[in-house]
Structure 1
Amino acid sequence: MKTLLKRLGFSEATPSETSRQSLGQQGERLAAHFLTRCGMQIVAYNVRVPVGRTRTGARVYGELDIVAFDGPTLVFVEVKTRTTTDFTTPESAITPRKQARLARAARRYRTLIGPFDAPYRFDVVSIVAAPGAQPTIRLFRDFFRP
């Protein structure tokens, strides 16, 4: 597993060197590899889609971590990575407000890129990557429905 993590771009950085952003990027790479091994076909990573405008006219974007197909089903995957579960689990960060934002971005993705008529669902990949330990990866299929 250590070789796999190194090949996927994980580093053995100290906690002070590891930013939340790089932890998230590493988690997304690990999740993509995990989903591929689960039989999903990855279509896109870190997709930003325009979902509206502010009152001043600035564009507002939604982000989808991973878009994949699980057979004929289009899957929008949110990846949450943490270094510890001392306070809460990674998947608990998917609040109703976050779910609404993901659903809005997914709806826009399906309108712009398609396929609009394909069945779809929202999955969550929860990763706990404690320093010096093997990462724990959990897939929550059909985590929520909009």
Structure 2
Amino acid sequence: MAGPDGKTRDRIWLGNYGERVAAAWLRSQGCRILARNYRSPRKGEVDIIARDGRLLLFVEVKTRQAGSRIRGLDAVGKDKQALIERGANSWLKRLGTRNLPWRFDVIEVSVEEGRKPRVNRVKDAF
């Protein structure tokens, strides 16, 4: 993707853009965003933490250029899952309870120059 100056955007910009798209999409689905880019003291991380009614969502966002050979979900391997799980455990500890429903989702955002981003949510991804 190119910016208004014609220069190609880097992967950091693309990832941040995808997270903004995913958060807006979750809001449009009735979710409340509780945190973005949550980092726990024990090296855990979660892109988006949201509530869908009583359900707590720990969401990993993967953004890809349209036509990418690697699906976003496929990039969430065991090491990445462990980071997200540590972040989720830290958040639950902050709440002081684990007695509420929660799950891990992956949101895949596909972007293409001049087109609206496409969003795919994979519920209970791992």
TM-score over 0.5 (shorter chain): yes
| Structure 2 unmatched ranges of 5 or more | none
Cα 1:48/1:75, change in 2 over 3 Å? same
Report the counterpart of residue 54 of structure 1 in structure 2: none
Give TM-score, length-normalised by structure 1. Answer: 0.77
Q: Which AA in structure 2 matches 1:35?
A: L
Cα 1:109/1:12, change in 2 over 3 Å? same
Q: State the 1:16 CA deviation.
A: 4.3
Alpha-carbon distance between aligned partners in 1 of 2:58 and 2:52, rounded to the nearest angstrom: 10
Q: State the 1:115 CA deviation.
A: 4.4
What is the root-mean-square deviation of aligned Cα atoms in Å?
A: 1.9
Aligned residues: 125
Q: State the 1:86 CA deviation.
A: 3.2
Q: State the 1:112 CA deviation.
A: 2.3
Alpha-carbon distance between aligned partners in 1 of 2:105 and 2:19, rounded to the nearest angstrom: 13
Q: Give the alignment of 1:1-146 within 5 angstroms.
A: 13=3, 16-51=7-42, 61-144=43-126
Alpha-carbon distance between aligned partners in 2 of 1:123 and 1:95, rounded to the nearest angstrom: 13
RCO higher in structure (CA 8 A, sep ≥6): 2
Greater gyration radius: 1
Identity of aligned residues (%): 37
Q: State the 1:23 CA deviation.
A: 0.7
Alpha-carbon distance between aligned partners in 2 of 1:34 and 1:19, rounded to the nearest angstrom: 23
Alpha-carbon distance between aligned partners in 2 of 1:92 and 1:111, rounded to the nearest angstrom: 29
Cα 1:114/1:122, change in 2 over 3 Å? farther
Q: Which is further off, 13-22 or 63-72?
A: 13-22
Q: State the 1:134 CA deviation.
A: 2.3
Q: Which AA in structure 1 matches 2:13?
A: S
Alpha-carbon distance between aligned partners in 1 of 2:108 and 2:97, rounded to the nearest angstrom: 27
